[in-house]
Amino acid sequence: MATVTDPIILDSTGQDIVTALGNLNTPRDTAAYTTSFASSDTDDASATSWTVVPPIAGGETHTTLFGKLSQIAKNVRYLKNLLNDNVWQDVTSEFTINVTGARAMILFNKFTKEMKIQIAGGGVNTGTAWLTVPSKYLPDTSLMSIVAGTQYFMQGISVGRFTQSPSSASQLYTFLGTLIYDSSTNQIKINFPIGGTAYGVQSDIRYIVA
């Protein structure tokens, strides 16, 4: 009686593949194995947004599993950036500023896309200070209240110590300034509604970049 034997399959080097692989049920070290997948992970500085990751389920292929894990890794980097105390960048030099007798500092948070405008100092007369906004920092006007045409209300509160005429007594006042963004000129206009000259004027104006 003839005996049926398993066919011998040779690889490109002439080695018996079955012998080379051995018993596939035998545990083996996969340290050198590689898996091809599209990674979503990135360096910390580039992790500027959140990615929705589908749940990890049984039966995942290595490609889909590692793809999801790379998205989770990127999301962790994004959360780390949000918790970082140093996410505010000083972009004052990029703005054209006209604030007489005061100092202005403009900060940008690239992770939340929030602008923070701070004006402090003395000698600000009643009138309008203005800042010309670069195109990459234009406000999201959908989050503002429209005044008329191209003008929109912004948010901000100012605290000023000033000499109130005719009295020479220095008093501390809290007042809400008129803060307008004019999209036709890309200018933020700040009106200090006070008489005389203000000293120690401070403002904290915030908006979200479009």
**121 falls within a domain:** yes
- Number of structural domains found in the chain: 2
- Does residue 131 share a domain with residue 71? no
**72 falls within a domain:** yes
**8 falls within a domain:** no
- 40-54 confidence digits (pLDDT tens): 899 888 888 888 999
- pLDDT greater at residue 55 or residue 84: 55
Q: Where are the beta strands (DSSP E) in 122-186?
A: 124-132, 145-148, 151-153, 155-163, 170-175, 178-182
Q: Name which of 12-21, 35-44, 157-166, 181-190 the model is least confident about.
A: 157-166
- pLDDT of 166 reads 45
Residue 169 pLDDT > 80, yes or no?
Answer: no
Q: Of 59, 83, 107, which residue sits at a domain end?
A: 83
Global pTM reads 0.55
- Does residue 93 share a domain with residue 77? no
Largest Cα–Cα distance of the chain, in whole Å? 126
**1 falls within a domain:** no
**99 falls within a domain:** yes
12 burial level (CB within 10 Å; 0-12, 13-18, 19+): exposed
CATH of the domain at 198: 2.60.40
Q: How confident is the model at residue 116 (pLDDT cuts 50, 70, 90)?
A: confident
- Does residue 153 share a domain with residue 51? no
Residue of 118, 120, 119, 137 lying closest to 181 (CA atoms): 137
The range of the structural domain enclosing residue 189 comes to 88-208
Residue 130 pLDDT > 50, yes or no?
Answer: yes
Collect contacts of 70-76 with beta carbons under 8 A, ≥24 apart.
Answer: 70/37, 70/39, 70/40, 70/41, 71/40, 71/41, 73/40, 73/41, 74/40, 74/41, 74/42, 74/47, 75/47, 75/50, 75/51
Residue for token pair 């997948």: 37
Residue 78 pLDDT > 70, yes or no?
Answer: yes
Over residues 157-181, mean pLDDT: 54
- Does residue 106 share a domain with residue 201? yes
